[in-house]
Structure 1
């Protein structure tokens, strides 16, 4: 079972100071990463929701190492999806620019905090974050099932009215026309999501996508593409901070990156066959349970 990944690793040029023995000993991260990436893309959730707990609880990395490794893995794992959305021209770049104003500074601050707070405190924050995100996935409908504007309320309805029209014309001939959103709520949500992502390597797309649809009237297809675009740039910033603050655990990350490149290719093809209205709540329960386990491992130790 270990033959294929080991032969693959041995065929690639390796720097002289690379921990080859540790790298080969962690070959099992490779098939696990394929599985995580496939499930994440099929269900439409952030892959880091899988990787960071896995790196911490199974691989044995410290919380800051696990979070940094999760972000680095996610940067490579979202490549296929991001390129597809850009090629399809489904990204609302005007909205994305506002979201990035909040997301990038917040993810940088979160990443810096993750390397400066005590390990026990970061572990607790990680567990609480997973628990909250798990509840979020259970409580809210999948983005594809949300109705644009259904949760905006009277105040946001007034603010979202008469601000012009946004038109998105995709390469496959579909045209989306919707009222241009009042930007501050999205900016605030992206700031919160970016901070959480910097701290626990996940949260930005889960928080922003549904809210862009329900409170900002974006069509689901546009909201998902826009959130992925924002996450890609924010994740790069967060991963860079984690990499500068501490040496990345390359003997693990090398396997996970290779795994998500393969799993991502397969996941984009099988995702349309997976019922998201079943998968997302089920994963939410799993993440909530993992959050409880992380909290228990720290508070009861």
Structure 2
């Protein structure tokens, strides 16, 4: 019975996060600690193990639809992967309270930035200094992956939206970037041998099934409506996630 629960939860989360450009590790991390009662260290490793295969499947699906912007994605990866390694090496020495505040400030700031971009910026001009901005967002994402086992999707999807991508290519490009960062983070967390395989495998199978469906569903959605509704939703979601961490 519990396997069915894991499959359903994994499917729904996988469908949601691949559709919105996230990796899902933050959602899995919350579920594993609050619902399934796993210790934080075990939950961090299990969340990355759960999210990574669905990211690969989702990114491949987006690649087949031609939505991935490889130039900006590679600009992000150039700083995201080294930051993931550094974050993983520093993780044992960072107090939990300090990390919580750092992530909360990052998420809150990104949420505000996305909302300002959506409602107060009317011209769709290419972002200035795109390469530098992409590198900064990639670095923030890599730190989140390395330190806490998050997939780092918040800074990536927010950064892509701020840089001017519409929601669909932003979700696709984010999935591509998160494959690289999550793989590096997972390898570091695997070395600690903290994965709860019983929970992780069930969630992972469901997440892969959700990731298979997401790109196909997105191709049947009106891009203008997707941008109109999902961009502000992502901004509010980032803002709420950031504020909840410190309130």
Instruction: Specify the TM-score bucket, using the shorter chain as the normaliser.
Output: 0.7 to 0.9
Out of 191, 206, 212, the residue aligned to residue 244 of structure 1 is 191
Note the alpha carbon deviations across 1:130-186, whole angstroms, 9 max, x for none: 5455545555439xx98341x42xxx4xxxxxxxxxxxxxxxxxxxxxxxx6x3332
User: Per the alignment, in what secondary structure is the counterpart of residue 8 of structure 2?
Assistant: helix
- Tell me how far 1:213 sits from its aligned partner: 2.6
Counterpart in the other structure of 1:174 = none
User: Per the alignment, in what secondary structure is the counterpart of residue 191 of structure 2?
Assistant: helix
2:156 equivalent to 1:205: yes
Counterpart in the other structure of 1:141 = 118
| Length-normalised TM-score, structure 1 | 0.64
User: Per the alignment, in what secondary structure is the counterpart of residue 194 of structure 2?
Assistant: coil
Distance 1:131 1:54, change over 3 A: farther
- Tell me how far 1:31 sits from its aligned partner: 1.9
Counterpart in the other structure of 1:192 = 140
Q: Which has the higher helix share?
A: 2
Tell me which moved more, 31-40 or 235-244.
31-40
Note the alpha carbon deviations across 1:174-229, whole angstroms, 9 max, x for none: xxxxxxx6x33322331222213333412342243124437xxxx77655544332
CA distance in 2, matches of 1:86, 1:29: 28
CA distance in 2, matches of 1:280, 1:50: 19
Runs of 5+ in structure 2 lacking a partner? none
CA distance in 2, matches of 1:35, 1:285: 20
Note the alpha carbon deviations across 1:99-128, whole angstroms, 9 max, x for none: 322110111222333344344544555555
Out of 86, 91, 94, the residue aligned to residue 63 of structure 2 is 86
Counterpart in the other structure of 1:255 = 202
CA distance in 1, matches of 2:115, 2:37: 28
- CA-atom RMSD in angstroms: 3.5
1:108 and 1:237 in contact (8 A); partners too: yes
2:229 equivalent to 1:264: no
CA distance in 1, matches of 2:244, 2:171: 30
- Tell me how far 1:88 sits from its aligned partner: 4.3
Greater relative contact order (Cα < 8 A, sep 6+): 2
Runs of 5+ in structure 1 lacking a partner? 7-26, 157-180, 297-301
CA distance in 1, matches of 2:90, 2:37: 21
- Tell me how far 1:268 sits from its aligned partner: 2.8
2:61 and 2:212 in contact (8 A); partners too: no
- Tell me how far 1:292 sits from its aligned partner: 4.4
- Tell me how far 1:232 sits from its aligned partner: 0.9
| Length-normalised TM-score, structure 2 | 0.75
2:233 equivalent to 1:277: no
CA distance in 1, matches of 2:241, 2:74: 34
- Tell me how far 1:230 sits from its aligned partner: 2.0
- Tell me how far 1:50 sits from its aligned partner: 2.1
Counterpart in the other structure of 2:6 = 29
Tell me which moved more, 238-247 or 91-100.
91-100
Distance 1:254 1:130, change over 3 A: farther
Note the 1:37-56 alignment, pairs <5 A: 37-56=14-33
- Tell me how far 1:96 sits from its aligned partner: 3.8
Distance 1:260 1:193, change over 3 A: same
